[in-house]
A and B are shown apart, each in its own frame.
Chain A
Amino acid sequence: MSHAHVHLTDDLLRSALADRATTPDALLLRDILRRTSVMDQPRARWRVLDRGTRRSTMVIAFLILGTAAAAFFAAHFQTAPPHNGEIATGGSNSCALTLTDPQTGGSRELGRAGSGCSKNYYLSYGNVIGTPDGATVLYAVSRICGGCSSGPSTEQLDATGIWAADVVTGAVHLIEKCDRGFCPDFSISGDGRLLVVARQGAGVEVVSLTGDPPRDIALAGTTSWAYEAAFSPDGMSIAVLALTSAPSVTGPRDSELQLIDLASGRATTVITGSGQQWAVAWSRDGTRLTFLSPLLDDPSAYATRVVLVDGTEVAPPTEAMPGVVFSPDGVHGAYAREPGPPPFTDYQIHVMRVDGTDDHVVLRQPECCLSGPQFSPDGQFVAFSILVGGNPDRSGLYLASIDGADLRRLSASDPGDQFTWLTQH
């Protein structure tokens, strides 16, 4: 039997899932308690320590790991701090990228992507990246199918793609159309001249921002399903994360890390991993790669891995620290903390020195959700966004100095994590 076309809306999906979700009978509770009542709990070594000792051990471990991580990131990831420019914000349900001046709070729209955008068209402005000289903002306009009431319109498809906007004039031009309106991941080279696009099902494409023709590069082995790509700091290599086989609806998604030599166009496999790896990034000196890797026994949990470019593991996997970002001068780290216990009433933005000291709260609020933070190019401020459902007076883009003073709301629209702080052009 073949299905007639079913237009998948949020409401339909919710109804279908609700049909499946049923309530348990009393016998299930009885069975669980009966089974567990005759089972002994193994005593964990961790529990042998009392609470005070556990806390001390954790603090010491954190300081040791924090210091090591600080040294690593300071040595490999820091760059010279330029001057602060405007903040470019994307997000959903908008028709153009917005630039906000962090000094005055004034904002301006860049030119509109496509010709027929309206707020009802459910477009997402994401992957916002500034060129190193601060003169251009690159961003991807994708359609969000979940909100579409009648499928993509011609106007929507007209607007979707990877765009470049001139920061001074606001003029935009299309760099790349995206397959069916969904844009893949891309990154920019350190000199701002090249863009690499992970083309799912077609290897990677290197796009010149200076007018040279684009270049397709095939991956090693049989895969072509690149989903992340990142230039090395010297612009000579590209790290690529790719699925080992075409994505299957029901099958596992294993992936591998490949390295492309840009001069020869040759790709080699660095690591083949179980499950899907994420967030590949280069060390500042280009000798190491870091990425997130799912844990074997629990694919929903991730560990941070660091490998040499030949695939040698140089650091044992450590618990992932999602959301930690480091300032361009390598002095500070910042992260969003969303702690329990329920009912989840303590959301925080923290800044600390990279050696783990002086960890302090920059913002604390009782409601979900925080996105970001991102450091200013000079490393003295953090920007983050707040989305409080049903409270537009609270939502928006915010800015604070790293000591927590000078907290300001820059704009009322919430860009989620789709924003970037540009260097001064």
Chain B
Amino acid sequence: MSTRRTVDEVHEIGAPRADSGSGLIELAREGNHDAFGRLVEMKLERAFRTASAVLGNEADARDATQEAFVAAWRNLPRLRDVEKFDAWLHRLLINSCRDIQRRRHRVREIALDSQPLTVPAGDERTAERLAVSAALDRLSVNDRAMLVLHHVEGLPVAEVARRLGVPVGTAKWRLHQARRALEKALGNDR
């Protein structure tokens, strides 16, 4: 029996499913590019925000986001459980960020200590934010992704764990480790 449906039909099924994108994911998985387009529209901003927060560079974030969605389109037929789409897309995105980061490191090393920070005189808060941002660049992509999920997307630890597919205790530990790595990168534990 054919299960072909149109994108508009999916949006008429009901608000919760349409909002979550489950119907669109199923259609896209069946090869419907219009549905995939709608899906990209829904997910693009969050994905790009995550990539740019992780990579700290718009051009790199643009590449990583594009590669992640291309990989998603190519691999969607292999996604068994549409309910895990968000977690799956997040993994693709972080993998893309990692690849971009590797490539970038091959091109140029970031010599943190040689890059003076230009900060308006007296603006301590801005100086601190820049220092934290510079320290973030020294963390692994995984650590940065943990911090972004929790602090930018505002997910509670249990949701972070669900998104990553790991036990809650593991998520807590990894978040703690990421935080410690950041403290270390800031030189706070010397």
Instruction: Check if A and B associate.
Output: yes
Option from B52, B53, B56, B181 in Cβ contact (under 8 Å) with A249: B181
- Report if A37 contacts B (CB, 8 A): yes
Contact residues in B for A342 (Cβ distance below 8 Å) = 19-20, 86
Contact residues in B for A301 (Cβ distance below 8 Å) = 91, 164-166
In angstroms, Cα B45 to Cα A46, docked, is 31
In angstroms, Cα B129 to Cα A55, docked, is 50
B14 to chain A: closest CB distance in Å? 12
Q: Are A300 and B138 in contact (CB under 8 A)?
A: no
For window 324-361 of A, CB contacts with B under 8 Å fall at 338-344
For window 165-190 of B, CB contacts with A under 8 Å fall at 165-170, 179-189
Q: Which residue on B lies nearest to A342, using beta carbons? A: B20
In angstroms, Cα B185 to Cα A22, docked, is 23
- Report if B27 contacts A (CB, 8 A): no
Interface positions of B (Cβ within 8 A of A): 16-17, 19-20, 22, 29, 31, 33, 36-37, 40-41, 44-45, 48-50, 52-53, 56, 58, 61-62, 65-66, 69-70, 73-74, 76-78, 80, 82-84, 86, 91, 94-95, 113-117, 125, 128-133, 135-136, 138-140, 142, 145, 147-148, 151-152, 156-159, 161-162, 164-170, 179-189
Q: Are A341 and B187 in contact (CB under 8 A)?
A: no
Q: Are B169 and A17 in contact (CB under 8 A)?
A: no
Contact residues in B for A32 (Cβ distance below 8 Å) = 40, 44, 65-66, 69-70
Mind listing 13 A-B residue pairs with CB under 8 Å?
A: A1-B116, A6-B131, A12-B128, A12-B129, A14-B152, A22-B61, A29-B44, A300-B94, A338-B161, A339-B83, A340-B20, A340-B86, A389-B156
Q: Are A250 and B45 in contact (CB under 8 A)?
A: no
Contact residues in B for A19 (Cβ distance below 8 Å) = 129, 133
Q: Which residue on A lies nearest to B49, using beta carbons? A: A21
Minimum-distance CB pairs A-B, first 9: A322-B167, A340-B83, A369-B158, A16-B132, A24-B48, A21-B53, A44-B77, A36-B73, A21-B49
Which of B115, B166, B185, B187 has most A Cβ within 10 Å?
A: B166
Q: Are B62 and A2 in contact (CB under 8 A)?
A: no
A7 to chain B: closest CB distance in Å? 8
B8 to chain A: closest CB distance in Å? 18
> Given contacts A12-B132, A23-B48, A23-B49, are A2 and B113 in contact (CB under 8 A)?
yes
Contact residues in B for A341 (Cβ distance below 8 Å) = 17, 20, 22, 82-83
Q: Are B73 and A41 in contact (CB under 8 A)?
A: yes
Q: Are B158 and A370 in contact (CB under 8 A)?
A: yes
Option from B52, B66, B132, B167 in Cβ contact (under 8 Å) with A8: B132
Interface positions of A (Cβ within 8 A of B): 1-8, 10, 12-24, 28-29, 31-33, 35-37, 39, 41-44, 46-47, 54, 145-146, 180, 182, 247, 249-253, 278-279, 292, 298-302, 320, 322-323, 338-344, 368-371, 389, 417
B140 to chain A: closest CB distance in Å? 6
Q: Are A20 and B65 in contact (CB under 8 A)?
A: no
Contact residues in A for B170 (Cβ distance below 8 Å) = 278-279, 292, 302, 322
Option from A13, A22, A31, A417 in Cβ contact (under 8 Å) with B151: A13
Q: Are B48 and A28 in contact (CB under 8 A)?
A: yes
Q: Are B189 and A180 in contact (CB under 8 A)?
A: yes
Q: Besides the contacts A250-B139, A302-B170, what 8 more A-B pairs have beta carbons closer than 8 Å?
A: A16-B132, A20-B133, A36-B69, A145-B183, A300-B165, A322-B166, A339-B83, A340-B86
In angstroms, Cα B128 to Cα A3, docked, is 9
Contact residues in B for A39 (Cβ distance below 8 Å) = 70, 73-74
Q: Are A17 and B147 in contact (CB under 8 A)?
A: yes
Q: Which residue on B lies nearest to A5, using beta carbons? A: B188
Q: Are A340 and B84 in contact (CB under 8 A)?
A: yes
In angstroms, Cα B185 to Cα A247, docked, is 12
Q: Are B49 and A338 in contact (CB under 8 A)?
A: no
> Given contacts A31-B66, A145-B179, A278-B170, are A300 and B86 in contact (CB under 8 A)?
no
In angstroms, Cα B138 to Cα A18, docked, is 17
Option from A29, A299, A344 in Cβ contact (under 8 Å) with B142: A299
Q: Are A28 and B44 in contact (CB under 8 A)?
A: yes
Q: Are B49 and A22 in contact (CB under 8 A)?
A: yes
Q: Are B129 and A323 in contact (CB under 8 A)?
A: no
In angstroms, Cα B127 to Cα A15, docked, is 12
Q: Are A29 and B166 in contact (CB under 8 A)?
A: no
A66 to chain B: closest CB distance in Å? 18
A385 to chain B: closest CB distance in Å? 11
